[in-house]
Amino acid sequence: MLVCLVGGGYFFPMGTELLVFVMFLAAAVAGLVAARYGHGWADIQRSTGEKVAAVLPVILILLSIGMLIGTWMFSGTIPMLVYYGIKLVNPQFMIITAFLVTAVMSLTGSSWASAGTIGVALMGVAAAIGAPLAATAGAVVSGAYFGDKLSPLSDSTNICAIGANADLYDHIRNMVYTAGPSFLLAVTVYFIAGTVTEVDAAAMSATDHPLLDELEQAYSIGWPVFLPAAVVLWGTLKRKPAALVMVSSSVIAMAVGVAVHGFNPYDAILAAIAGFNVTMVDSIAASGNAPSDMLSSLLNRGGVNSMATTLIIILAAFLIAAGMDVSGGLDKLLHTMLERARSVMGLVAATLASGATMIALTSHGGVTALIVGGLFQDAYRERGLAPENLSRSLEDSVTILEPLMPWTVSAIFMATTLGVPTLEYMPWAVFCMTGWMFSLLLAATFPHTGFGLKTLGPPDK
């Protein structure tokens, strides 16, 4: 898969079509390897089905976010967030603003919900004021995973603690050693990027921005448009099922669009399933003026159907994982890494490598954290290291590296939702890019400084 992605990207445009083709090709190779070891198509099909069933809640969230984006366009929720964002955000500080706002939002426990709601609005603001989209998307992804990683409400945070048999709050406190430096580095990079970015002088004058007039013409500005967002915030804080919360918010958004803006009720259904389209706004059609490209780019998106390609890529990813699973290749990789961990540095490096390898092949953070955590628990204990060191290493590989791998579920979701390919936002996802580096740095210096890792007793150096 790696060879074909690199080679294909050199000769052809790096798009979704190439990615899907390469993944199915890699799945075929994985199947041939499995067949060589005596496993048939039925075994691969069964393993694929088990993996799909395991991530069904994630798939339901994916579909519900597609519906959420379409209906929030219909209700004016995202357009109004963009409207006020244009008025309030200085283009010079758009990147750091995207990072900090998304980080705060994701402290409620969901990186996906944060990126799929406030992240989409921030991307709309960035497009409107001329800020760099790749950098803004990278900042959104970084912020989403920073807040999610340090939130006791996050599923991934809880599962990593469980996988390592660590206390949840000890785990969160211990993550500050790697998350803190990554956060400060991200803030520094985003601030400097903003100061050196050339901004169109016209974009600095928010009150004269042409998009504001179009949004005022298309929507009735008022507090009801934020009711769908309030539903998501309430449901997240109350720990209600994410998919049900988002569907409920979508229903409220459909009602707001009809009652407040006077949109056609049938268009509410179309927005939820096929996505919103600017032609649904009668006031723009009645004016006789064609909507601007910027308005169309902002509004024409969302819907359950928009996630169809994402589901195909997920299926291809699970076919690859199933082939490696039934052939024993994945187990072989993990045990080989563990056998070579002969020091604290080697142990942490093996944990990071195992987590990154398995999340790349399965796209299932929960399963990866539980398997890798169970495999490495004894090794950490034997070296006198507390379990929260293991749980932190799981977070620094499993949780924050997944959105940087273009074929994984999280990366596909972020690219689809934010409208920026993974390879373009990757260099700007500073928080996600550096967590594992600080983890390795602390492990390398720990025998000399005794800092950064928590011990059970005298450590085995």
Nearest CA-CA partner of 298 in 76, 99, 137: 76
How much is the pTM? Answer: 0.67
CB 200, CB 130: distance < 8 Å? yes
- DSSP 8-state code for residue 291: P
Residue 214, Cβ density class (10 Å: 0-12 exposed, 13-18 middle, ≥19 buried): buried
H-type helices in 340-429, by residue range? 344-362, 365-382, 387-394, 400-401, 409-418, 422-425
Beta-carbon count within 10 A of 287 CB: 13
In angstroms, rounded to a whole number, what is the distance separating the alpha carbons of residues 75 and 283? 15
Q: What is the pLDDT along the chain (461 residues), one digit of tens a residue?
A: 778 877 877 787 766 677 788 888 988 998 999 999 888 889 989 988 887 887 677 678 778 878 988 998 899 888 887 777 777 777 778 899 889 888 877 775 568 777 877 788 788 888 877 888 999 999 999 999 998 888 765 767 877 887 788 887 788 889 999 999 999 999 999 999 888 776 554 554 445 567 777 888 888 888 899 899 899 878 867 778 878 888 999 999 999 999 999 899 999 999 999 999 988 887 776 666 777 777 787 788 888 998 887 788 778 877 877 888 888 887 777 677 777 777 888 889 889 988 898 888 767 676 678 778 877 887 888 888 899 999 999 999 988 999 998 888 788 889 988 989 999 999 999 999 999 999 999 999 988 888 888 887 654 44
Name the amino acid, one letter, at 249.
S
3-state SS, residue 385: strand
CB 359, CB 369: distance < 8 Å? no
- Name, in order, each residue with C-beta under 8 angstroms of 31's C-beta and a sequence gap of 6 or more: 41, 44, 319, 323
In angstroms, rounded to a whole number, what is the distance separating the alpha carbons of residues 124 and 112? 17
